[in-house]
Amino acid sequence: MTEREQLELKCINTIRTLSIDAVQAANSGHPGTPMAMAPVVYCLWDRFLRFDPEDPIWPNRDRFVLSAGHASMLLYSMLFLTGVKAVDPQYEILGHPSVTLDDIKHFRQLGSKCPGHPEYRMVSGIETTTGPLGQGVATSVGMAIAAQWMAAHFNRPGFDMFDFRVYALAGDGCMMEGISNEAASIAGHLGLSNLCWIYDNNHITIEGNTALAFSDDVAIRFLGYHWNVLRVGDANSMESLEEALRTARETTGRPTLIIVDSHIAYGAPHKHDTSAAHGEPLGEDEVRGAKRSYGWPEDAHFLVPDDVRQHFAESMRRRGRELREAWYARLSEYRKSYPDLAAQIERMQRRELPEGWDAELPSFKADPKGIASRDSSGQVLNAVARRVPWLIGGAADLAPSTKTRLTFEGAGDFEEDDRRGRNFHFGIREHAMAAIVNGLSLCKIRPFGSTFLIFSDYLKPSLRLSALMELPVIYIFTHDSIGLGEDGPTHQPIEQLAALRSVPGLITIRPADANEVVEAWRAIMPLTHRPAALILSRQALPTLDRTKYASAAGVKYGAYVLGDAPDGKPDVILIGTGSEVAMCLDAYERLRGEGIKARVVSMPSWELFELQSKEYRASVLPPTVTARVSVEAAGIFGWSRYVGLDGTSIGMHSFGASAPIKELLKHFGFTVDHVVAAAREQLAKAAQK
């Protein structure tokens, strides 16, 4: 073994033993994969990854995604050993280490920067939150798409501003999850040659050998997806690993899957298979045995030899610094020739909107026939996208129905032979779509994805990660209620609104008419750290007369007084969202004609309302007015927060049915007569107190 090979082995064993010691100290975690995959990650980071630890967010860096998030110590060890610097939310390098040895010693403990699974925004150098298996590889597809779209949009002759590659390390669990199959299918269809997945083929999951539940021929499957498939028979063979990674880098027209055979054990194929190491600490005796097999001091804990520190500092930092400095020098020259494009790059990185982004927003005249909110949203989306060049997205095969196609000149389609398009065809792959738009957002593109509201269930795990990572992804959900009609209960959302409202950090908005749609987009676009879900109707909604009722600008507050008692002191409050607001107004007019002092509150967004001051919320929903009725063609779960214990909610208490919309609304009680009757009952109840 040469001196160089000896040093590399020492580096690999440092990664392994840091992982072993951290898991043992925490008495919790997964040491097996970090032990087995340490050579793979070392080879990738040391010889291929274009990444500068001094500036872990420079825009053209390669991305490494640890999809097998349970192996988090593998990534934390690399972040520590390479000296990745911390970055604050304002994207300023702070100078201190992202991960310290003390953080590793407190792995999985409260307050440590090394939680059980990698979390984006918590630690610089982590490109995406992983843990739910399959999410990492699916998100990496979005990153690879982002690189190719940004290259097509920004690159000019002599200025290759974007050409980064994306690598993801996956395990057996990732391969079993359906989302990885959806994502692999679209990646192969698009021919994303800058994407490389590394599959740790170790045949072990929590329950035991994968033969219990998994017998796929993964290589054949990925060949069917139009991937380039390579195999490394020994995870410890640096020569084979380097050859495979070089081949992946040189492959054109297809993404690459590298299948790496490994054992969950001490990292050597001839050692005994310690399957328990996959999901729990090794135990003191096994720890000593592992270190002995590595030629490591058995009693040493968290040992990092000086020459290992020096090697990581000199190798990756030097190469990464040279690449990063060359990129920024190129950007300076690029700015001279293409100032507008350079300004776009800089705004994107800061998640800033262009000046005048809302200059073309439409306004809608009062119209009792109205327009479906999906249609008005389509108009607004196109008006915004014309002004925000990096607002891109598409639908899960439903763009004609969700009205999310960008139709202005030059919008185009993102395809294998044309990366400039801004319309994406995700196919019938809701879950992968949501993970892909997360990947786009992580690369600072502003993405949107759309489908029917009922199918938010199909993508919820990825949407949840949008919120957990604080990504300003835009979800457009249409066909928002039983107003869908004849398609019946399989397509009529009931509990989906409540589910979305339960997600911490997600802004959900269900606008009542076309002008509320405009204001909803005005509220959504400036978001930088929160995803948003826009809930839209298929059926036409009357465009309200804003000379008679309050301005739609109140949408930004989440809820506002739309129609009020003459003296501003109502006896009963009607609260509605979306298509039911017009019904509340009709009931209000009838009550007012009877001399009853009523108020109508349009409440498109619970979350925005909760962000307002206590005083504002009390001005809209005075605590002294206990006679309250909420009206929403969805499940009533959660409405007690706003109607109180004495109030009532007109909503769905069952699944829907298949029938024309007018019959359905009458059958389930969504009529003006029912709202008026409920208001009278509330007034009678209040009078008895």
Residues contacting residue 449 through CB under 8 Å, at least 6 positions apart: 393, 394, 395, 396, 426, 433, 434, 436, 437, 459, 473, 474, 475, 476
DSSP states along 243-263: HHHHHHHH--SS-EEEEEE--
pLDDT at 689: 77
- pLDDT band, very low/low/confident/very high, at 315 (cuts 50, 70, 90): confident
Residue 272, pLDDT above cutoff 80:
no
- Segment 503-527 mean pLDDT: 98
Does 595 have pLDDT greater than 80?
yes
So which residues are the catalytic ones? Answer: 430
Say if residues 383 and 407 touch (Cβ distance below 8 Å).
no
Output the DSSP codes for 637-689.
TTTHHHHTTT-EEEEESS---SS-HHHHHHHTT-SHHHHHHHHHHHHHHHHT-
Task: Check if the beta carbon of residue 126 is closer than 8 Å to that of residue 103.
Answer: no
Residues 146 and 140: their CA atoms lie apart, in Å, by 10
Highest mean pLDDT among 289-293, 318-322, 605-609: 605-609
Question: Which has more pLDDT, 272 or 52?
Answer: 52
Q: Are 134 and 473 in contact (CB under 8 A)?
A: no
Q: Give the per-residue pLDDT at 275.
A: 37
pLDDT for residue 606 is more than 70 = yes
* Residues 3-324, CATH architecture: 3-Layer(aba) Sandwich (3.40)
What is residue 497's DSSP assignment? H
- Fold annotation for 367-542: Rossmann fold (3.40.50)
- Please determine, for residue 352, whether its predicted confidence score (pLDDT) is greater than 80: yes
Structure tokens at 439: 């990947």
The set of long-range contacts for 153-160, using a CB threshold of 8 Å and a minimum separation of 24, is 153/341, 153/389, 153/390, 153/420, 154/341, 154/344, 154/345, 156/334, 156/337, 156/338, 156/341, 159/330, 159/333, 159/334, 159/337, 159/338, 160/330
What tens digit of pLDDT does each residue of 443-497 get?
999 999 999 999 999 999 999 999 999 999 999 999 999 988 899 999 999 999 9
Domain parsing of the chain, residue ranges: 3-324, 367-542, 551-687
The DSSP H or E segment spanning 430 is helix 430-442
pLDDT confidence of residue 152? 98
Q: How confident is the model at residue 269 (pLDDT cuts 50, 70, 90)?
A: very low
Residue 678 has pLDDT above 70, yes or no: yes
pLDDT for the residue 279: 61
Q: Does the structure show a pLDDT above 90 at 668?
A: yes
Q: What is the DSSP string of 25-94?
A: HHT-S--HHHHHHHHHHHHHHHHT----TTSTT-TT--EEEESSGGGHHHHHHHHHHTTPEEE-TT--EE
pLDDT range class, residue 264, cuts 50, 70, 90: low
Q: Report pLDDT for 277.
A: 46
Mean pLDDT of the 50-64 span:
96
The mean of the pLDDT values for the chain is 95
177-218, pLDDT tens digit by residue? 999 999 999 999 999 999 999 999 988 788 888 889 999 999
Determine contact, residues 241/39, Cβ cutoff 8 Å.
Answer: yes
367-542 against 551-687: fold identical: yes
Q: Does domain 551-687 have CATH number 3.40.50.920?
A: yes
Which tens digits make up the pLDDT trace of 373-416?
A: 999 999 999 999 999 999 999 999 999 999 999 999 999 999 99
